[in-house]
Amino acid sequence: MDIRLLKAAIFFFFTVIGVPDNLYIVLKFSLIRIIEKKLLPNNIILMTLALANLLIVFSRVIPQFLHAIVIVNLFDDANCKLFGYAYRVSRAMSICTTSLLSCHQCILIAPNTRLWILLKQKVTQNVLAIIMAILLVNLALYRTSFIYANARKNYTSPYTLHLVYCDTDFLTYVSYIANGIVFASRDFLFVGMMTLASVYIVYILLRHQRYIKGIRSSDKVQRRSVEYKASRAVILLVVFYVLLYGMDNCMWIYILTLSNPSRTLVTGRSEMFQNILQDVPKHSLLDTWKRNYMCVQKNQLR
């Protein structure tokens, strides 16, 4: 099979799965907001995550599919800047909101001490404000996409990332390295926060499992099953993110050490890792995590 046909099939799969999946989440919570006049903080975060992933599909996956079916020179300079900026911001929001989701759930199931109660009140009441603050930071952070992105050219500086349908020419070595370090550090920070929050959630779940050992055996078996499922969902989500974002950023750091990154290397990095991160397993794990968390909360988790 021709490599272009294989790429087209992969990107078509990502599009067919990603658009309905994320669109369903957005429409579902929008309907709940209209009917009930309010939206729970967890649902606000999940809706934001779905919007970010939907934007990633339109700004990254679909253009890659069109390029794979030999539609070359798809964008001019203006479109490269617009689509590149949209992709960078939406990818950052996907990482940050997933981290926020894990941190929020960690706070909710934490013991009712004075500090945790204060955090529960402040974070729960200000989830939308926190999301808006994260969005503003990412909008400001990725303004470099407007400066450096342009349509593919025959001649660029050595400090250029050759993407699928556009080039990002940083012009100088200092700008090239500085932008790479900032973006990689942001990923490591939020994935690290998510990991720490998730480890604490698993610890609380296991501690609660030991706490209910005195309850009659039938209830113990039922609750142990709920805790096992919740713990498994948390662990799977963390492993999924750490492995994929870790590999993506390790490849990114390696690219930074190159004086002139090859088109094949950068394109391969994008296709291999960045699109996988927006596929179905993440949403399935988040949905499972949410359902199991609610079950544990109903059982008066302390």
In which band, very low, low, confident or very high, does the pLDDT at 176 lie, cut at 50, 70 and 90? confident
Burial of 50 (0-12, 13-18, 19+ CB in 10 A): buried
In which band, very low, low, confident or very high, does the pLDDT at 265 lie, cut at 50, 70 and 90? very low
What's the pLDDT tens digit per position in 10-24? 778 878 887 888 888
What's the pLDDT tens digit per position in 95-149? 898 889 888 888 888 888 888 888 888 888 899 999 999 999 999 888 887 888 8
* Out of 61-70, 149-158, 231-240, least confident range: 231-240
The answer to whether 93 and 135 have CB atoms below 8 angstroms apart is yes
Mean pLDDT of 63-92: 83
Average pLDDT taken over every residue of the chain: 76
- The pLDDT assigned to 264 comes to 44
- The pLDDT assigned to 301 comes to 45
- The pLDDT assigned to 230 comes to 61
pTM: 0.81
Q: Pull the structure tokens for residue 128.
A: 């939308």
Element (H, E) at 231: helix 217-256
Q: Pull the structure tokens for residue 242.
A: 């750490």
Phi, psi of 275 (to 5 degrees): -75, -35
* Out of 24-33, 178-187, 233-242, least confident range: 233-242
Which residue has 């179905």 as its token pair?
Answer: 280
- The pLDDT assigned to 139 comes to 92
Long-range contacts from 89-93, C-beta under 8 angstroms, 24+ separation: 89/135, 89/138, 89/139, 89/142, 90/52, 90/53, 90/55, 90/56, 90/59, 91/52, 91/56, 91/60, 91/274, 92/138, 92/141, 92/142, 92/186, 93/48, 93/49, 93/52, 93/134, 93/135, 93/138
CA distance 281 to 256: 30
pLDDT greater than 80 at residue 7: no
Domains and their CATH numbers in the chain = 73-298 (1.20.1070)
- The pLDDT assigned to 268 comes to 46
pLDDT greater than 60 at residue 292: no
CA distance 183 to 185: 5
First to last CA, the chain: 56
